[in-house]
Amino acid sequence: MTQPLAFRRILAVLVKEFTQLRRDRLTYAMMLLMPVVQLLLFGYAINNDPRHLPTIVYVQDQSAMARSVLAALDNSTYFRIIRVAHSQSDVEASIRQGEALFAVTIPADFTRRVVRHDHAQVLVEADAADPTAVGGAASLLAALPRTALARDLVGGAAWLPAADPFEVIVHRRFNPENITAFNVVPGLLGVILSLTLVLMTALSVTRERERGTMESLLATPVRPIEVMAGKLSPYVGVGLVQTLVILGVADLMFGVPMPDTAASWSALGVGVVLFIIGSLALGFLFSTLAQTQLQAMQMSFFYIMPSVLLSGFAFPFQGMPVWARDVGQLLPVTHFLRIVRGTVLKGETFADLTASLAALAAFLVAITSLAMLRYRTTLD
């Protein structure tokens, strides 16, 4: 015989749950604050139609027409001209390092050819590593020739042929076929690694506290940095295996290109190791702040959300408002994504990735120091 449902017993459990929830201040705060903070944060930050994309211009033709073309670009709101290049190699470096997503080159004979109807061209190089970032801007470029020179050619309109006065040649770099997977799959590497690794270490210390084993551990002469190193090491192995698996699947099943030089591979390798250790250290820091495993888990999720949304993984980094990019700069995933995409898609090496690698190293040092400051060798 099963007993009938007793309302009183349900109530008993319910009251107990509520009471326990109320005691757990952090969980309580997280439950109320998290949705609000995240909604505001991401509601404003996310932008599927990115504009004001950084653009470098290389003008070899100092003429009124060239200036009109640039003005038209600027007015479109899709492009934000960050500076004028002084050489072709300057253009190349700027695109490669991600300073600019677009490089517009106006050749020396531009005006002459427009006037002569002699196949005048404007060259646009686009960093197509992230197809969504350049999609909208690329389609605007198609309409540019019909409008850009409208004022310059007034009066002379009579002799204008039906054809456009010039042609825009768009050259998609790094991902010429616009394959989304080329961008997403390397990004997933960063997200999956953070998700698993931060949680691993965050749980492993709070578990000791929850189960009471911390008391025995602290009674031994083991030092904080030794605990940290010992806790992190096995997961470095876990992270490396995860990386190999993800890269293998990316290559074999999605056809994502792999670095083609040893220099690229080693830059990627250093980035991966720094990122793995940095993520683990962050988990360790969380565990020194959280009292329970549940709290550690909540902190980890609180960190994962911006890592997905503000790092340039889910939405184009250049399309976010400045403050959101500033937040993004603080996240290791942002720098890691640049390293992975840079080495995988652009064949970049240490020279191109110095800033990102340095950022990861700085993150690691900062988080480790914080964790050591926070870690208590007593039960107080």
Residues that bind another protein (CB under 8 A): 211-216, 218-222, 377-380
* Token output for 162: 């039906």
In angstroms, what is the minimal distance from the CB of 28 to another protein? 20
| Residue 224 or 257 having the CB closest to another protein | 224
| Residue 204 or 307 having the CB closest to another protein | 204
In angstroms, what is the minimal distance from the CB of 369 to another protein? 21
DSSP label at residue 52: S
* Token output for 326: 């500033």
DSSP label at residue 2: P
Is the Cβ–Cβ distance between 228 and 329 less than 8 Å? Answer: no
In angstroms, what is the minimal distance from the CB of 284 to another protein? 18
Q: 153: which strand partners?
A: none
By C-alpha distance, which of 167, 168, 148 is closest to 68?
148
Round to whole Å and give the CA distance between 341 and 135: 18
By C-alpha distance, which of 150, 174, 151 is closest to 164?
150
In angstroms, what is the minimal distance from the CB of 376 to another protein? 10
| Residue 87 or 378 having the CB closest to another protein | 378
In angstroms, what is the minimal distance from the CB of 236 to another protein? 20
| Residue 177 or 380 having the CB closest to another protein | 380
| Residue 204 or 311 having the CB closest to another protein | 204
| Residue 222 or 365 having the CB closest to another protein | 222
In angstroms, what is the minimal distance from the CB of 216 to another protein? 4
| Residue 264 or 287 having the CB closest to another protein | 287
In angstroms, what is the minimal distance from the CB of 225 to another protein? 13
| Residue 217 or 351 having the CB closest to another protein | 217
**Residues in CB range of 345: below 8 A, 6 or more apart:** 129, 174, 175, 182, 183, 186, 257
Using alpha carbons, list the distances in angstroms from residue 136 to 51, 126, 132, 316, 319. 8, 12, 8, 12, 11
Using alpha carbons, list the distances in angstroms from residue 281 to 27, 48, 199. 22, 33, 11
By C-alpha distance, which of 256, 260, 259 is closest to 268?
259
Is the Cβ–Cβ distance between 144 and 69 less than 8 Å? Answer: yes
Of all helices (H) and strands (E), which one includes residue 102?
A: strand 102-106
In angstroms, what is the minimal distance from the CB of 5 to another protein? 35
Is the Cβ–Cβ distance between 209 and 284 less than 8 Å? Answer: no
| Residue 193 or 232 having the CB closest to another protein | 232
In angstroms, what is the minimal distance from the CB of 379 to another protein? 5
Round to whole Å and give the CA distance between 321 and 316: 11
Round to whole Å and give the CA distance between 224 and 203: 17
Q: 211: which strand partners?
A: none
Is the Cβ–Cβ distance between 145 and 165 less than 8 Å? Answer: yes
**Residues in CB range of 237: below 8 A, 6 or more apart:** none
